[in-house]
Amino acid sequence: MEVMEKTDSEKQTCIVSLQGDVEKLEEELQSAREEAKDLNHQIDKLNADIQTMKGEMSKSSERELGLEVQIATLKSELHKGRSQIAAAEAAEARARSSLSGLYLAVQQLAIEAEKAKNELRISKLDAHDNEVGIKGKDMTAKSSELCSVITISIQEYESLIQKAERANVITQSTPKDEPHFMELEKTSDVDAVKQELESANATINELRLSLEVAIRRAEVAEEAKALVEHYLRKQRERSIGRRRSASGTPEEEISIVADTGTAK
């Protein structure tokens, strides 16, 4: 009887000891479950941060691509503007060259007209000295005819002088020691040339302004691109810092967790 009681007592003691071990194991299991739950929560948070960062990187890449396209467009516009400016300057140079040639032609005509005047003066003197009878009448008729011809040449000469005066105002290439040129009236032909030059100058000024605006826009786009790249670097650094401080694990383990979340 005593042996049975002793055996029951030992069994009871063993059961109590086992129950204590079971309770301890249950507590450890509960603690492990809580820790696993916290770890899962951290993993979910890290995965969310990774997805957010990927979305930001995708948007930033799209913005960067858009900026590059805009920069390429601005460079194309810049090249086009420079080509238009070069063409306008070439047209202006051609117009000035034409006016210069016109002035030289007018000078040549002036020389020829002066020579014709001298010949007319000599002819009149000869006619006055030899004016006798029919011969004198013939000389007078010839002199009048010659005068008529020379009068037409002088009119043409004056018209060309008027054109030369307008060319002088535009090109600033005529001599200053011919004051009679400054008193001549304007002609429609030279006015048309002047309008063409003014139009060319206005086009050049407009293209230069557009060129300056395009250059400024290109500079602003480059600055914006640099700011975006700087922002992305800061975002990556902050994300890596948050991941390290949240997990408290080395960088290699974080990379493994990130890859696992991506695969899911």
Domains and CATH numbers, the chain: 15-263 (1.10.287)
pLDDT tier, 95 (very low <50, low <70, confident <90, very high otherwise): confident
| Residue 145 confidence (pLDDT) | 41
The pTM is what? 0.33
Structure tokens at 254: 């974080």
Q: 173 falls in which pLDDT band (50, 70, 90)?
A: very low
Q: What pLDDT sits at residue 20? A: 81
The predicted structure's pLDDT at residue 229: 75
Band of residue 115 on the pLDDT scale cut at 50, 70, 90:
confident
Q: Give the chain as a 3 state SS string.
A: CHHHHHHHHHHHHHHHHHHHHHHHHHHHHHHHHHHHHHHHHHHHHHHHHHHHHHHHHHHHHHHHHHHHHHHHHHHHHHHHHHHHHHHHHHHHHHHHHHHHHHHHHHHHHHHHHHHHHHHHHHHHHHHHHCCCHHHHHHHHHHHHHHHHHHHHHHHHHHHHHHHHHHHHHHHCCCCCCCHHHHHCCCCHHHHHHHHHHHHHHHHHHHHHHHHHHHHHHHHHHHHHHHHHHHHHHHHHHHHHHHHHHHHCCCHHHHHHHHHHHHHC
